Amino acid sequence: MAYDLIGKDFTPPDIEAKVTGRARYSEDFRPEGMLFLKLLTSPMPHARVTNIDASEALAMPGVHGILTADEVPAFPEPQDPILTNEPMFVGQPILAVTADTESIAAEALERIRIDYEELPFTVDPLQSLFPGGPNARTDGNVANPGIDLQDFKWTAADFAAVAEGQLPEGQPAGEWSYGDVDAGLAEAAVVLDESFVTAGLAHHCMETRSAMAYWENGRCHLHASCQSQSFPVPAVARYIGITPEELVFIAEFCGGGFGSKGGGYPIMAVPALMSRKLNNRPVMMRIARHEEYFIGSARPGFQGRIKMGFAADGRVTAADLYIVQENGPTAGFNDWRSAADAVSLVYTVPAMRFRGVPVLTNTPPRGPQRGPGQNQIAAAVEPLVDKAARELGLDQVEIRRINAPDSTALYGANQSSVTSAHLREALDMGAEQFNWEEKKARSGQGNGSKVIGVGVGTAYHSAGGSGFDGLVVLTPEGKLHIHTGVGNLGTYSHTGTSRVAAEALKCGWENCVVIRGDSRNHLPWNLGQFGSNTSFTMTRSNWAGAMDAVAKLKEIAAMDLGGEPDDYDIGDHKVFLKDDPEQAMTYQAAALRAIELGGKFDGHEVAEDLNPMTKASAAGIAGTGLVGVAKDNMEHTGTVPALAAGFVEIELDLETGKYEILDYLGVADCGTVIHPTGLDTQIKGGAVMGFGLAASERHIYDPQTGLPGNIGLQQSGPPSYLDVPVMTASAAVDIADPQNPVGAKGIGEPVQGCAAAALLCAISDALGGHYFNRMPVATDMIVNAASGRDQSHRPLQVNTA
């Protein structure tokens, strides 16, 4: 379908502020009388606070007070606390101190004396699962959403039953299966039985978790770094101990979240609670880079094992997957389950068994990071698909094409449906545009110590939700105000998806205003900006609100001009009689008429199925124009899959282990493209993160002391411009999803996973088929492999240097 706005580039309204530096992030605000807050964090991986002596600090001039765990709301374990007297990882906040300046607050921290009782700790899930092994918490070592905290151990026989380097398969905490897995493996021409490790790593958002809060007229005003806007409000209010109506939440800009700032998180409540304690004075909490490393959430690591069967033609016959997830000390996230779902879909596995256990560790708390579970498993399994292709004499692209899902594919434990899937088309498009056959012919070519390697990778992430609210207003000035609570993660999808409302109402974009970023702006209840859901979810929500406005335009026209609403159409900022377009009413006139009519037309009456937040927002703008407000009740069945393929060519130096990425292409199956330049940036930015996932980013923890070996950006290894290929391209299949009014679905997650997988495959290709079964693959590992030396780490070791 041809659109006036969808699929066209545009300049987002906030881009000028970002590129000129006028954009104000949470730590840029300076209200009168503002104080500064610093956190005192744990120096130990697990301990109990037995005594706090802050007398010397509180006696310092300029110090205004401290806030301890005993003064903040407490939540059921193993939830992440706001502050704690039993820290469970190095860097966990214990208390906060507030002073006139940051330097005074920092000095005050040095004068606070804390006595600790050291407690057992672990940084390796397998160590904790071994009989008698240490637990990360005093009350257990296994927990996850849906799994209660418990003490969970395997038997010594489980560990003794496997060879060195092979993952034991003790009792799982969760499992599912479908089909006859044993028969599928028995009939396979090739069966791979491989254990693997994927590293945990920090989110490393460029904007740290700084926040500023004050109280005014009984309401808490909180400026915080968050990638969502409406969605966090209930959780943040709960952390502070107030109702959502008592919170003013401002998150106009966000300098990176990657999933870790998708909703409310406990530490953002600290300045609000301190401000209330100090008679409502504004309090700024600036989080330092090393603090962000600890409290800023992390991607869970995996210790896994997969048995995967392939027929002679390359078709997957069965898969048996076991994942031990490094979960951090709190409930964590269900990456292990998402990983299994991804395997079932990406390879359309006809018979599959999944088992897993999420084990608590005394490392930073785990949360969803871009493609949680799906990207780790892509990095682990895609090189093994190449291994099968090599043994079967098949092309790397062809074996993926044979197994790629289409729109009839089934998904996960329940073998549920998908809305649309076009990975095969993405592979075909990529192979052509990347000149795969030509580049593959260069594989293995040498130039001194350097050798060419090529790789292809695929990945998946669920990418859409439904059931949220849309809210728009046609004003008497002829403007369309589109209210969106989706947040500002940096992809400008707050505005890209708002253009759907303009498309539905046939409004010129110059007459549209996007209202966002501050809960005082009367925003609707929208899903958070995470999980690649925004394109699918928010186009549906905005469409629903806009179509409610269209229906009201036609109803008003029929009242005033005669006939029935169905006799009317819209266009050129008018509602007109289909049979006689001269019989028309401008949007400005219709907005004035809506205010005269009141009731449902101007927002004084709304549907009962709306969220209370949306009802309150509609009430706040009632009487300002023609209000379109509706819940997205359009049909939605099945998972919305974002799928992506990446192609890469590298030149690897066998003597140094370093490589240069010569060329990269990412191809997205994201439905209808909303903003071409935005999509291009998403694919390329995701690829850069994928390169870090594959080859540099990781946690390093000393198993003897539990202390971290890396905390900063440089130490933890996110890619820099020097690691990015000069030639990077993107493409999109651009086939509409049938369950979205404009055909859109998300893509932000799998464009990282496919790039990570492609790079790992290219490294193995350059080494003639050496498979590390681990990520990241660092330069020393490459040198060891090329020279035939043993690696410095044990096969299943986690958090390695």
How does strand 659-669 pair with strand 727-732?
Answer: parallel
- Residue 703 burial class via C-beta count within 10 angstroms: exposed 0-12, middle 13-18, buried 19 and up: middle
Residue whose token pair is 């600290």? 270
Residue 603 pLDDT > 80, yes or no? yes
DSSP, residue by residue, 487-534: ---SS-HHHHTTHHHHHHHT--GGGEEEE-SBGGG-------S-TT-H
Cα 622 to Cα 620: distance, rounded to the nearest angstrom = 6
Residue 727 pLDDT > 80, yes or no? no
pLDDT of residue 636: 97
Residue whose token pair is 């088929």? 769
Residue 685 pLDDT > 80, yes or no? yes
Indicate the DSSP class of residue 708.
Answer: B
Cα 353 to Cα 318: distance, rounded to the nearest angstrom = 8
pLDDT of residue 104: 98
Amino acid at 582: E
Angstrom distances, CA of residue 260 to CA of 70, 271, 469: 26, 19, 24
Reference 261, options 306, 209, 219; nearest CA is 209
pLDDT of residue 557: 98
Please give the share of the chain, as a percent, with pLDDT higher than 90. 96
Mean pLDDT score across all residues of the chain: 97
To the nearest 5 percent, what fractions of the chain are helix, strand and coil? 30, 25, 45
Residue 1 pLDDT > 80, yes or no? no
**What is residue 665's three-state secondary structure?**
strand
Indicate the DSSP class of residue 698.
Answer: -
More confident residue, 493 or 342: 342
Q: Give the pLDDT confidence of 758-796 residue by residue, as tens digits.
A: 999 999 999 999 999 999 999 999 999 999 999 999 999
Phi and psi at 302, nearest 5°, equal -120, 140
- Residues 6 or more apart whose CB falls under 8 angstroms from that of 383 comprise 757, 760, 761, 764, 771, 772, 773
Residue whose token pair is 């292990």? 336
| Stretch 326-351: mean pLDDT | 98
Q: Give the pLDDT confidence of 372-411 residue by residue, as tens digits.
A: 999 999 999 999 999 999 999 999 999 999 999 999 999 9
Q: Give the pLDDT confidence of 406-433 residue by residue, as tens digits.
A: 999 999 999 999 999 999 999 999 999 9
pLDDT of residue 439: 98
pLDDT of residue 431: 98
Cα 547 to Cα 503: distance, rounded to the nearest angstrom = 10
Structure tokens at 457: 């990778």
Q: Give the pLDDT confidence of 239-265 residue by residue, as tens digits.
A: 999 999 999 999 999 999 999 999 999
pTM of the predicted model as reported, rounded to 2 decimal places: 0.97
Angstrom distances, CA of residue 781 to CA of 657, 696, 771, 793: 8, 11, 11, 9
Cα 540 to Cα 632: distance, rounded to the nearest angstrom = 6
Structure tokens at 578: 């289909």
| Stretch 436-455: mean pLDDT | 97
Cα 592 to Cα 123: distance, rounded to the nearest angstrom = 65
Reference 468, options 523, 514, 522, 527; nearest CA is 527
- pLDDT-derived band at 722 (thresholds 50, 70, 90) equals confident
Indicate the DSSP class of residue 744.
Answer: B
Q: Are 653 and 450 in contact (CB under 8 A)?
A: yes
- pLDDT-derived band at 717 (thresholds 50, 70, 90) equals confident
DSSP, residue by residue, 116-170: EEE----S-HHHHHSTTPPPSBTTBSEEETTEEEE-----HHHHHTS-TTPPP--
More confident residue, 723 or 455: 455
Residue 506 pLDDT > 90, yes or no? yes
Q: Are 121 and 706 in contact (CB under 8 A)?
A: yes
DSSP, residue by residue, 355-415: EEEEE--SSSPB---SSTTHHHHHHHHHHHHHHHHHHHT--HHHHHHHH---TT--BTTTT
pLDDT of residue 721: 81
How many residues are present in the chain?
801
- pLDDT-derived band at 637 (thresholds 50, 70, 90) equals very high
- Residues 6 or more apart whose CB falls under 8 angstroms from that of 254 comprise 25, 207, 225, 226, 227, 261, 487, 488, 489, 490
∠ at Cα 766 (763, 770), nearest 5°?
Answer: 70
| Stretch 316-337: mean pLDDT | 97
